[in-house]
Amino acid sequence: MPNSTQQQQTNINKDLGANQSGAQTTDAGTIIQASGAELKQDSTNMALLNWLGCLFFGFIPPLVIMLMKKEDAYVQTQAKEALNWSITFLVVYVVLWVVAMILGFILTFIFAPLAMIPMLALVLFGFSHLVFCVMGAIKCSSGQDFRVPFNIRLIK
C-alpha cells in the first residue's frame, strides 16, 4: 500500500507528462518549438527587443545585442539581420535624400507640384523601415527567423 508521499510524487509525474505535449517549462524559462529547434523564451524576447530597438534607435540596439549575446545563435542571426537592415536603410535613405533634393530642385523650375514626387519616395522608403521592423518583431515573437527581402548583407 503506497503512502501519501509516493501518491503525490505519482501525481506530479503524471502532470509533468501531460505538460510535455505543449510548451515545456524549465528554470531557464519556457522553451518554444520552432522549425525543429528549441528556443528559449529569453532568446525570442531579445530578438523581439532587437527589432523594436532597430525601429526606434537605428543600428545601435542590434549592434549592442550582437556584441553582448555571442553565445545565442538565434539572437546573433536576428541581430545581424537587423544591423544589416539598419545599415542598408541608412545608406539608401541618404542617397535617396540627395537625389530627392537635386530632382526636387530641378522639377521646381519645370512644374512645382512635380517636386513632391521625390519626397514621396522618401516617405515610402521610411514606411518600409517601419514595416520590416514590425514584421521582424512579429516573426521573432513566435520564434521564427526573419530575413529582410532586399538587404545588403555586410555582416555575415
Q: How far is CA 111 from CA 33, 94, 105, 108, 136, in A?
A: 57, 25, 10, 5, 40
Q: pLDDT per residue over 44-87, tens digit each?
A: 889 999 999 999 998 999 999 999 988 989 999 999 999 999 99
Q: Is the pTM of this model over 0.75?
A: no
